[in-house]
Chain A
Amino acid sequence: MLKDITIGQYFPGQSIVHRLDPRYKIIITLTYIIMLFAAAKIPSLIPGVIFAVTALILSRIPFSLIGKSLKPIIPLIIFTTILNLFLYDGDPVIKIGFIEIAYDAIETSIMTIIRVIFLIAGTSLLTYTTSPIMLTDAIESLLAPLKKINFPVHDLAMMMTIALRFIPTIIEETDKIMNAQKARGANIETGSLAQRAKAMVTILIPLFVSAVKRAGELALAMECRCYRGDVGRTRMKQLKSGAKDYIAIILTMAFLALVFVLNFAFRNLELF
């Protein structure tokens, strides 16, 4: 069912990861991504892996949930691994008939698999532990310098907030309309590809109609509450950073440094 989609969902909690300042959390996540991609050798991936697993344990988000968000990327992983294995030039170390696999190919494949898995796991952790509102607040605050060149930061953040806020609503609505059409015998899960494509129309039209209607109502409601954009707007919940945020970011930077140290230390490593 559509309701089972977990990507981009927020799981409320009180853990240290939940309570970090979202601005820092975004910077930390970006640093974490750099950590994964700066690694040039397999051992240099270890800091990133330890970092993600520690954050996951601290957040008390069940591992099974992360597993669920990884499920859709399994085909991608398999596909890239196959390409990596066979399309890489180098001295072959394995020979089975006409298939030749180079050492570099194996190394690159292993690294790509680890990178992709931890990239998804780490970034899902960000959305799992940060409410959409906090996330966009943080983005607005981080992009604030761009206001000087008249970039509509606030408008963009508001648009993102609204979009994120309505994802679950629209998913729920889609689910409802889908069920209503299924109750009238629409071929949504069964039937040929052409039949299914046709059935999509019966879902999309009502969905657009209600989305447009809802947008109009929301705009009206916002105007009734005197919303007029960024100017003079204050916040009920101010973003505040404290000692835990500074410690978190220093630790992250230390992990990143460790990646470079490991890169240097194992620059000539050959596992077999």
Chain B
Amino acid sequence: MATIRTENLNYTYGIGTPFEKTAINNINIEIKPGSLVGIIGHTGSGKSTLIQHFNGLLKPTSGKIYIDDVDIWENKKNIRDVRFKVGLVFQYPEYQIFEDSVFRDVAFGPKNMGLDEEQIKQRVTNALESVGLPLSYLDRSPFELSGGEKRRVAIAGVMAMQPEVLILDEPTAGLDPRGRDTVFSLIKDYHKKTQCTVLLVSHSMEDIAKYADTLLVMNNSEVFCYDKTVSVFEKSEEIQQMGLDVPQITRVFNELKKRGVNIGEEIYTVNYAKKLVLEYLGKAGEKSC
């Protein structure tokens, strides 16, 4: 299992032109194997730039990235192997589909890895199951599928490489609420099943709080905080000041606390809130009796 570590990572776009812009500034983080990390931040806060460093698509302006303590840019020839180890699903991944059958498109990654026919078949089937599409889809043209199905085919295309780290950039952008829930629970299940590291990029706290165990909050090209989800929501005031949403349920309980009803701290899922409210009501009930 792979550990990703960055050291003073910097990246600047368009050096030497009037459009020069620092996208990420001095990032020092370590991502533990097997965790499900949510990366949140505004549009333009550097999330997408950061994740493109993890699989060597962008070369840092300065600083280093280590995967399992190996500097990935030490030997340029190995950069392709890094990409098989760290799978990246881009925003709107359905725009990368190019083959005329679902099977061939999903098989593109494994084929590039140089696997044999049998293994490729196995992986494609597994990947398609992971994204919850029936195997009858294998021979269909991906261009005939619905938007949500195309998205899932594209995600399967990266899962089929069986990367040790799976990064998804806004995997639910542009999907309806049901599609969003489907994709998120697929990812959650995949994480549980494979035990691989999953990085989930989003700007919606609401969704990410439900799934991620660790949160990386980016603001103005820098890491605002990187901690367990529970601890991050201790700073919900500051996060809101940054202009990021905290889950509705957290806002409700913060407001209740302000008005003197202290039910509990760091509440960010409805289920947990329900449990606490019931406990609180139970206690209150006992007292009044």
Identify the A interface with B (CB < 8 A). Answer: 3-4, 6, 11, 62, 64-65, 68, 173, 176-177, 179-187, 190, 201-203, 205-206, 209-210
Q: Restricting to B140-170, which residues have a CB under 8 Å from any CB of A?
A: 143, 157-158, 161
By a CB distance below 8 angstroms, the chain A residues around B87 are 183
Contact with A202, one of B16, B52, B55, B108 (Cβ below 8 angstroms): B108
By a CB distance below 8 angstroms, the chain A residues around B14 are 3-4
Contact with B95, one of A3, A65, A182, A206 (Cβ below 8 angstroms): A206
Residue B42 lies at the interface, judged by CB distance under 8 Å to chain A = no
By a CB distance below 8 angstroms, the chain A residues around B113 are 185
Give complex CA distance A64, B97 in Å.
Answer: 39
Give complex CA distance A65, B93 in Å.
Answer: 34
Closest residue of A by beta carbon distance from B111? A185
**10 closest A-B pairs (Cβ-Cβ)?**
A185-B112, A180-B96, A205-B98, A184-B109, A183-B88, A180-B90, A202-B98, A206-B98, A179-B57, A206-B95
Residue B253 lies at the interface, judged by CB distance under 8 Å to chain A = no
Q: Are A177 and B95 in contact (CB under 8 A)?
A: yes
Identify the B interface with A (CB < 8 A). Answer: 13-14, 16-18, 52, 55, 57, 77, 80, 83-84, 87-90, 93, 95-98, 108-109, 112-113, 143, 157-158, 161
Give complex CA distance A190, B17 in Å.
Answer: 27
Q: Which of B83, B96, B157 neighbours the largest number of chain A CB atoms within 10 Å of its CB?
A: B96
Q: Are B83 and A182 in contact (CB under 8 A)?
A: yes
Contact with A65, one of B17, B88, B112, B158 (Cβ below 8 angstroms): B17
Please give 9 more A-B residue pairs, beta carbons under 8 A apart, in addition to A183-B83, A202-B98, A206-B98: A3-B14, A176-B95, A181-B96, A184-B96, A185-B161, A186-B112, A190-B80, A209-B95, A209-B143
Q: Are A64 and B158 in contact (CB under 8 A)?
A: no
By a CB distance below 8 angstroms, the chain A residues around B89 are 183
Q: Which of B80, B89, B158 neighbours the largest number of chain A CB atoms within 10 Å of its CB?
A: B80
Give complex CA distance A177, B108 in Å.
Answer: 14
Q: Are B97 and A183 in contact (CB under 8 A)?
A: no
Q: Are B90 and A183 in contact (CB under 8 A)?
A: yes
By a CB distance below 8 angstroms, the chain A residues around B143 are 209
Give complex CA distance A202, B111 in Å.
Answer: 13
Contact with B109, one of A6, A179, A185, A190 (Cβ below 8 angstroms): A185
Give complex CA distance A65, B14 in Å.
Answer: 12
Q: Are B55 and A183 in contact (CB under 8 A)?
A: yes
Closest residue of B by beta carbon distance from A4? B14
- In the assembled complex, the CB of B194 is this many whole angstroms from the nearest CB of chain A, namely 18
What are 17 residue pairs bridging A and B, where the CB atoms are less than 8 Å apart in the complex? A4-B14, A64-B16, A68-B16, A179-B57, A179-B90, A180-B88, A180-B96, A181-B96, A182-B57, A184-B112, A184-B157, A184-B161, A185-B108, A185-B112, A206-B96, A206-B98, A210-B95
By a CB distance below 8 angstroms, the chain A residues around B80 are 185, 187, 190
- In the assembled complex, the CB of B116 is this many whole angstroms from the nearest CB of chain A, namely 16
Give complex CA distance A183, B83 in Å.
Answer: 6
Q: Are A206 and B90 in contact (CB under 8 A)?
A: no
Q: Are A180 and B52 in contact (CB under 8 A)?
A: no
Contact with A183, one of B77, B95, B158 (Cβ below 8 angstroms): B158
- In the assembled complex, the CB of A173 is this many whole angstroms from the nearest CB of chain B, namely 8
Give complex CA distance A177, B97 in Å.
Answer: 9
- In the assembled complex, the CB of B27 is this many whole angstroms from the nearest CB of chain A, namely 19
- In the assembled complex, the CB of A92 is this many whole angstroms from the nearest CB of chain B, namely 44
Give complex CA distance A23, B80 in Å.
Answer: 50
- In the assembled complex, the CB of B12 is this many whole angstroms from the nearest CB of chain A, namely 12
- In the assembled complex, the CB of A187 is this many whole angstroms from the nearest CB of chain B, namely 8
